Each structure stands twice: as structure tokens, then as C-alpha cells.
């Protein structure tokens, strides 16, 4: 196992609601990346957090936001949920080195979000 | 054109067969390359990194061709347990963003 944990494992929400997903990184890792994986697709990069700041963002609207805490754990928040937000949300833990390069990413088990 | 392209399959092969997957990427500045394996409704798990010199891990061999911008994965002596989706991953410029292909489904048949 990677040591990356996510909660909850499953979640059902209705359109317009808000959701918070949580991720604990692997011991020794300081960086968390979030991905959305729709059925039959590869994961799509949402954003990454390093040193409690957003360190890059994919093509997702502002209603997708996040946080990183001093212990390197992270949250993904999605406001005004839409039906198309139904997906598996994955977080990945990695180590960013002093020079800024990021090592291999290891994934948590994901949170499966269903929006009705 | 997608940044990372894979044949979605499925590839249905008998046990013991050799199977190869290819993946092409569009950004010549890409620096890191990986194959991840994903079982149904599970998270992606790192199978192997891909280096220019090629690398092998047991029955799995990965190759990178920078000139043609493709990555390959060869699986020899396929096992039933190899049945999964194989995701090609490219990291642009050694920074934060992993770009995934859609994955190639492999089914190994008894």
C-alpha cells in the first residue's frame, strides 16, 4: 500500500450542493496533487499543493478549490455541484525537492462522488 | 490532438502470450514517463518508470523513443492477474502536472 489515504470512500450529493474531500499524504511527502477520473477516461489534473499553496492548476473552474495543511494533508472543495462532477477523485502524494522537481506520485484509493 | 494518446483496446490475449502497448505524446519538452496499472474501480499504481535506455522489471519491459515521441510497454508470459488497464503518463518539464492517457485495457484469458 502507498500510505496515502482518502475520505470518504463514497459520497452521494445533489446538484448545487458543496462537497469536501480529504487526503492524507504518505509519510515523508510534502506535495499533494488532485485528479478527477470520469468513467472510461484517464485521470485529469485538477491542481497541486506544495507548502500550503496552490502550485499549478489544470483546466478546472474556480468552484474547484483546495487547501493544504501544515501536516501536508489536503482538502478538495467543490461548490455548486453539477452532474458532470460525478467521478472518482484521486489524490496523489509526492516529494518536491529543494530544487523544485517533484518525485514520483503515489495515489490514494480515491473518493467516488455521485451527483444526482 | 490529445497530449497523450493510447489505443483503448481491449486487448484480449491468452495466458502466456506476449503483448505490447504503445503510447504517443505531443510535447517534446516532456521529461518523465511512467506506466501505471489500474484495476477496475481502484487507484492507479505505479508499474514502472520509463527511461531513455529502456528498463526491465521481470516480465515487463518499457522503452522510450524521444525522436518519435512514443513509449512502449511489453508484457511477456501474460498472467491472468495482468488483466487491468494500463495508463501511460507523461510529466511535462519535471514539474507538477501528470498527463494521463485514457488507458489501454488488457484481458488475459485462460
**pLDDT tens, position by position, for chain B (110 residues)?**
788 999 988 999 999 999 999 999 998 888 889 999 999 989 999 999 998 888 999 999 999 999 999 999 999 999 999 999 999 999 876 556 789 999 999 999 99
pLDDT at A9: 96
Please, what is the average pLDDT of chain B?
91
The pLDDT of residue A1 is above 90: no
pLDDT at B82: 98
Best B98, B103, B105 member to test A by mutation, with max A CBs in 10 Å, is: B98
Per-residue pLDDT, averaged over A25-50, amounts to 93
Structure-derived torsion over alpha carbons of residues A108, B35, B38, A105, reported in degrees to the nearest 10: 0
Distance between CA atoms of residues A33 and A74, nearest Å: 9
Contact A43 B42 (CB under 8 A): no
Contact B95 A58 (CB under 8 A): no
Whether chain A has a CB inside 8 Å of the CB on B33: the answer is no
Residue linked to cell 501536516: A71
Residues 6+ apart with CB under 8 A from A66: A34, A46, A47, A49, A54, A74, A75, A76, A77
Task: Provide the shortest C-alpha distance from residue A55 to chain B (in Å).
Answer: 7
Structure-model confidence comparison of residues A98 and B17, the more confident one? B17
Structure-derived torsion over alpha carbons of residues B66, B102, A109, B41, reported in degrees to the nearest 10: -140
Structure-derived torsion over alpha carbons of residues A82, B97, B61, A89, reported in degrees to the nearest 10: -30
pLDDT at B93: 60
The pLDDT of residue A111 is above 60: yes
Contact B4 A42 (CB under 8 A): yes
A56 phi, psi to nearest 5 deg: 130, 145
Per-residue pLDDT, averaged over A3-22, amounts to 97
pLDDT at B37: 97
pLDDT at A103: 73
Residue pair A72/A30 in contact (Cβ under 8 Å)? The answer is: yes
Amino acid at each position: 500500500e502507498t500510505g496515502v489515504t482518502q475520505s470518504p470512500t463514497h459520497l452521494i450529493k445533489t446538484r448545487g450542493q458543496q462537497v469536501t474531500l480529504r487526503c492524507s499524504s504518505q509519510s515523508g511527502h510534502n506535495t499533494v496533487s488532485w485528479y478527477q477520473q470520469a468513467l472510461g477516461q484517464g485521470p485529469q489534473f485538477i491542481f497541486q499543493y506544495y507548502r500550503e499553496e496552490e502550485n499549478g492548476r489544470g483546466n478546472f473552474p474556480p468552484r474547484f478549490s483546495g487547501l493544504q495543511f501544515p501536516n501536508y494533508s489536503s482538502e478538495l472543495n467543490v461548490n455548486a455541484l453539477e452532474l458532470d462532477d460525478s467521478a472518482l477523485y484521486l489524490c496523489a502524494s509526492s516529494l518536491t525537492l529543494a530544487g523544485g522537481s517533484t518525485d514520483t506520485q503515489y495515489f490514494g484509493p480515491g473518493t467516488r462522488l455521485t451527483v444526482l | 490532438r490529445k497530449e497523450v494518446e493510447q489505443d483503448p483496446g481491449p486487448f484480449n490475449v491468452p495466458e502466456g502470450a506476449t503483448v505490447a502497448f504503445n503510447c504517443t505524446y505531443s510535447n517534446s519538452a516532456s521529461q518523465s514517463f511512467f506506466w501505471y496499472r489500474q484495476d477496475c474501480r481502484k487507484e492507479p499504481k505505479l508499474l514502472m518508470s520509463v527511461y531513455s535506455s529502456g528498463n526491465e522489471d521481470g516480465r515487463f519491459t518499457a522503452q522510450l523513443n524521444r525522436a518519435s515521441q512514443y513509449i512502449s510497454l511489453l508484457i511477456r508470459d501474460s498472467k491472468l492477474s495482468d488483466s487491468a488497464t494500463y495508463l501511460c503518463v507523461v510529466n511535462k518539464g519535471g514539474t507538477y502536472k501528470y498527463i494521463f492517457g485514457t488507458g489501454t485495457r488488457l484481458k488475459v484469458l485462460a
